[in-house]
Every structure is written in C-alpha cells, then in structure tokens.
Structure 1
Amino acid sequence: MTYWLMVDYGEFDAQGIGKFTGPSAMHYSTELSQFQCIGWILECLDKTNGFCIRFDIRVDEKDYEREGLLTVGRLSEAAASALLETYDWEERFEIVWTAIDAEQKDIALGLNYEEEQNFWPCFEKVAKASKAEDILTLYKDALSEP
C-alpha cells in the first residue's frame, strides 16, 4: 500500500491520519513520471479532504500532505507549500511544471496516455501536440474549454 488514511471514530468525533509511502502501486505512470506521481498525490489529497469533510473527520496531523509531496513527489519545500495553498488545477500545473526539470517534462509529454493513467485534467489532450516550452499556455486553454 502506498497511500493510506486511518480513521479513528470516537463517541464524539472522528480523527484521521494519512501517509504516503511511495508512488501508486496500481498506476505505473506514477513510477515512470514525477509529474504524474505529483498529480496522483494531489488527487489522493483532494479525495481524502472531500471524504473528511463529508464525514466530519478531523485530520490533526496534516504534515503528511507536505511530506508526501517532498519525499514521494520529490518537490522542493517551496513548491510543496505552494501546492498545498491551492485547489485550482491551473495554478497547480504551473507550480509543478515550473518545479520539475526538463527530463521529467519530456517523460510526462512522452507517455502514451492511452495506456498510462493520467492524473492531470486535460493533460492527455495537450501532451500529444506540445513541446515543454509551449505547454503552460496550451494547458490553460484546454482547462477553459467546455
């Protein structure tokens, strides 16, 4: 298991704690691509936050989010902190695309998204026809399409 959330239900409240231990064991793209791994982490965090809100679960130790982005996502402290401040996929994309190196950008653009899982909304549309330097504008345009 590479991500888990443990919930302790008490008489008056529920508390949770989470942890990332590595890339997804189910989605190979997270092992191939740092970019996809970070997208997967963000998707896990979004789902967990939604679950916790829905069932009124308090997660006291939120450091696992930052720790997952630092250790599993291999991001800098500044990029990880910036990502945790936004839920907007356009902003997230800009933060991550700026933070990863050219080799990781090429890997992300070169994956076959008909076979590999994509964790970034609309990315498979722009990856086929893009170069790393053009991607920010194309991605923003793709996100704004109906």
Structure 2
Amino acid sequence: MRPTSRALRPVAIFAMTASLASCRSTQSPFERTELEIRELLRVQVDAWNRGDLEGFAQTYEKSPNLVFRGPSDLTTGWDAMLARYRRGYPDRASMGTLRFQDLECHILADGVAVAHGHWQLTRKDDSPSGYFAIVLQRGANGWRIVVDCSG
C-alpha cells in the first residue's frame, strides 16, 4: 500500500522543522558579546560620519562617572565629554570620516568588556589616526562605553 501525500505531510513538516533547527548557528556568549559591541561601535561610526555628535555620544554611559582620556587631558562625565567633542570638532568638515580597524574585544566579567583598536579620520587636508581602548559595561540600555582612552 502506498502512503498518500496527505499522510506524508506531517512527516515532511517535521523533517523540515528539524532540519532548519539544526542549521541555526549557536553562538557562544563571547561571540554574542563581540557582535553586540561591534554593533555599538558601528552605530558610533555611523553617527560620527553623519556629523551627529549627540548620536555618537549616546554610545557612552550617560553618567558623571564616565572617564575619557585623550592624548593630553582627562575628562570626567558625559556632559563634559560631549562638550570636549564639540570644542574639538565644531563643524562637519573638522569631523571628517571615521573608520575603526583591528578591533579586538575581550570579556573581563559578566557585563564588562574591553575593546581596542585603531581609529582614523579622513579629512580634506589631513588624516589623523591613533589607537583606542575602551571599557564597556552592559546595563539597562545595553552596552555603553564607561572608559575611553584614545590618542
């Protein structure tokens, strides 16, 4: 006796569901964390390249405890950090186009990570570059930068 197509339908659906479930990739917590941090930095770069310093600053923890260490000074607090960026980059031309390279992420503890890499600005008359190391913390708003050492 040959099975009818109606009788095989549940078997086919089960086989397809099982097949799709086995194809789903399982990511380790580190891989998920790294993807989330890379996405945060992509959002940061996109905001910068639109000339949106406010959007760029949203990737930092909005806290008076935020620490930003530049090549020659220390800035504490989110408001002071944003004011520093506004002074240093008063217009779109001074911001240029930002790019990150050689990004590495390391989990330090549950909800705490460090990332470091190379940054480069491309502007009409110059292309400043340097290295950065940031400490990130996961909170109610997802990952945010709590310490930034850039130079």
TM superposition score category, shorter chain reference: under 0.3
Instruction: Pick the structure with more strand per residue.
Output: 2
Identify the structure with bigger relative contact order (alpha carbons < 8 Å, sequence gap 6+).
Answer: 1
Q: Larger radius of gyration, structure 1 or 2? A: 2
Instruction: Give TM-score scaled by structure 1 length.
Output: 0.26
Name the TM-score, length of structure 2 as normaliser.
Answer: 0.25
Structure having the larger proportion of residues in helix: 1
